[in-house]
Amino acid sequence: MSKEREHFAGRFAVIAAFAGSAIGLGNIWRFPYMVGQYGGAAFILIYIAASLLLSLPIFLSEYIIGRYARSNAFGAMSALAPLSKVWKCLGYLFIITPMIVVSYYSVIGGWSLDYLVKSCTFSFIRTDASAISGIFPSFLATTWEPLLFHFIFLTISTIVVFLGVKTGIEKFSKFSIPLLFVMIVIITVYSISLPGSSEGIAYLVKPDFSKVTPQTFSYALGQSFYSLSLGMGIIITYSSYVSKNENIFVTGLGTAISDLLFALLASFAIMPAVFSVGLQPNAGPGLIFQTLPFIFSKMGEAMPLISSVVSILFFLTVLVAALTSCISLLEVGVAYLIEEKGLSRRLSCLFVYLFAGGLGVVASLSFGPLSGVHLMGKSIFDFMDALCCNFLMVIGGLGAVLFVGWKLNKGIVRDEFTNSETLGFNSRVFSFFYFLMKYVAPAAVLVILISNFI
């Protein structure tokens, strides 16, 4: 464990870094759709409950591990449980999962960069709405274009990580998070002022308890789990840069609230616009890279200038949100190589870049020349995503919460949670959260894990 670790400077920097990781594509392309699909306001309530009662305790567990050990995610596990093979394996998992995720996440990041360029060159406005659906397939069909933008995106992210925890990650997050909120608020105001937007608003807010099934709870938890970037060593790594004076509870709650707020704003930015042009919502890449360009083109027929500005703002939002998440993924691997392998930050960045870049090429080609290759019935890209999201991350989150609830000394957990009894409120709620970490959260995550298999 290195003594001279860099620190995030102050509460805003800490929350901005965590929120940067949390706010990402999940908030933009999955959450809005899930809200409408699973009961509107009813889903939002379930989501809030799942976030606070289940995801937050897992977040706190990872935070306790990282801040106490003051080490990278692998180093933390091997320092806190030196003799155990099982926990060591968990440490490896915390490094491997983000390395896989970052490779395909940066492919999508590249797409958003490409679409920002397309917005700036008025591609959507100049294309007739009926021809818009051809843009995405022909972009993928070029093969070189997604690859080029994947590498540009990854290069930008790696440069930020190379600049270090304070000069790179902290500065970038402190700048990006306010920017993201300002941009999404502008788009939201515009979107809900469109004629015909009320149907989209109703889709989001109308509580429909008939759409709530037992599965809804598992979907809500899965989404909040993914959205808070749990189960892959990110929270452990970032919290190892948090000062011992910081209040864990405020950080956790601040991150969860920013993440939720952004997801809600994104929902109100997207759905009213989707309904105003008479489309049905969908989730995933199709929403961002096909439905929205169609909307921009359609709106551009009457108001080309405004539509261009909104489309630039929108793809800039997607890009920045993806960048801050990508940075957090890269830092996990870089911190590991620096601390466990004794490499310089420069060399660590280079190795991580080459690994993620190379694997990303395979992921990207699975939309083109490698589209015929299937693993367990899925394309390579979908296989990587399913492997990580449904399996590796969930095991990682389960492992972290079990470690803190059952393996780590309770006195240590209490000290980290209450800053050695100096935080009155935290001392009062400790028993409740400890109970959640020990029993409730592991049970709920186990249910998700099993339900992913069935």
Binding residues for ligand PHE, rule: CB under 6 A, are 21-22, 24-27, 101, 226-227, 229, 232, 234, 325, 328-329
For ligand PHE, the nearest residue by Cβ is 24
Find where tokens 């310089």 sit: 344
CA 276 to chain centre: 28
Question: Would you state the structure tokens that stand for residue 393, as one six-digit string?
Answer: 């991350």
Which is closer to ligand PHE, CB of 300 or CB of 399? Answer: 399
3-state secondary structure of 362: helix
Instruction: Give min distance, CB of 30 to ligand PHE, in A.
Output: 8
- Identity of the residue, 31 or 124, whose beta carbon is nearer to ligand PHE in the bound complex: 31
**Count of CA atoms in the C-beta half-sphere (13 A) of 382:** 13
Q: What is the DSSP letter of 281?
A: P
Return d(Cα 227, Cα 256) in angstroms, integer.
9
Between 232 and 299, whose beta carbon lies closer to ligand PHE?
232
Those residues with Cβ within 8 angstroms of residue 131's Cβ, 6 or more apart along the chain or in another chain: none
Comparison of 307 and 325: residue with beta carbon closer to ligand PHE: 325
Closest to ligand PHE by CB, 59 vs 367, is: 59
Residues in the chain: 454
Please state, as a whole number, how many other Cβ atoms lie within 10 Å of the Cβ of residue 356. 29
Question: With respect to ligand PHE, which residue has the nearer C-beta, 107 or 413?
Answer: 107
CB of 89 to ligand PHE, least distance (A): 20
CB nearer to ligand PHE: give 25 or 46.
Answer: 25
Q: How far is the CB of 306 from ligand PHE (least distance, A)?
A: 28
- Burial label for 37, CB within 10 Å (0-12, 13-18, 19+), is middle
Shortest separation between residue 228's beta carbon and ligand PHE, angstroms: 7
- Closest listed residue to residue 354, CA positions, set 330, 379, 386: 330
In the complex, least distance from residue 325 CB atom to ligand PHE, rounded to whole angstroms = 4
- Nearer of residues 22 and 220 to ligand PHE, judged by Cβ: 22
Shortest distance, position 349 Cβ to ligand PHE, whole Å:
18
Which tokens belong to 307?
């539509």
For residue 147, the number of C-alpha atoms closer than 13 Å in the C-beta half-sphere is 13
Given the complex with ligand PHE, which of 223 and 276 has the nearer CB atom?
A: 223
Q: Cβ closer to ligand PHE: 44 or 135?
A: 44
The nearest distance, CB 97 to ligand PHE, in angstroms, is 9
Please provide the DSSP assignment of 202-224 as one string.
Answer: HHHH---GGG--HHHHHHHHHHH
Min dist. Cβ of residue 10 to ligand PHE (A): 23
Q: What is the largest CA-CA distance in the chain?
A: 68
**Secondary structure of residue 141 in the 3-state scheme:** helix
- Least distance between ligand PHE and beta carbon 76 (Å): 18
First to last CA, the chain: 41
Distance in angstroms (rounded) separating the CA atoms of residues 356 and 349: 10
Closest distance to ligand PHE from the beta carbon of 454 (Å) = 23
List CB contacts of 407: < 8 A, sequence separation 6 or more. Answer: 80, 81, 87
